[in-house]
Amino acid sequence: MSSANEALQAQQQRLNEFFRLLPLTLEIAGLPKSELGKPFTEGQLEVRILTIKTAYKLARQLVLEVMRG
């Protein structure tokens, strides 16, 4: 198997892991939905992105801890 193919498979695996953890991640983040017709500001979006990144790390850590027993 070529190195490029292995890199692509690893990337796909990480993406699949992200999508599998997304529901748990969003629950941990606890972010409210935007009001109808009132989009988030750029600053609010940046904060939400950081919150989701942190929540993803926590969700991944939780799953790993559960797997260890």
Q: What is the mean pLDDT of residues 33-59?
A: 96
- Percent of the chain surpassing pLDDT 90: 93
Whether the per-residue pLDDT at 11 is higher than 70: the answer is: yes
Q: What is the mean pLDDT of residues 45-62?
A: 98
**Angstrom distance (rounded) from CA 35 to CA 46:** 18
Per DSSP, 1 falls in state -
**Angstrom distance (rounded) from CA 4 to CA 13:** 14
Parent domain of 62: 3-68
Q: What is the mean pLDDT of residues 40-47?
A: 97
Taking the whole predicted model, whether its pTM rises above 0.85 is answered as no
Work out how many domains the chain is built from and give that number: 1
Q: What does the pLDDT read at residue 30?
A: 97
Whether the per-residue pLDDT at 1 is higher than 80: the answer is: no
**Angstrom distance (rounded) from CA 23 to CA 2:** 34
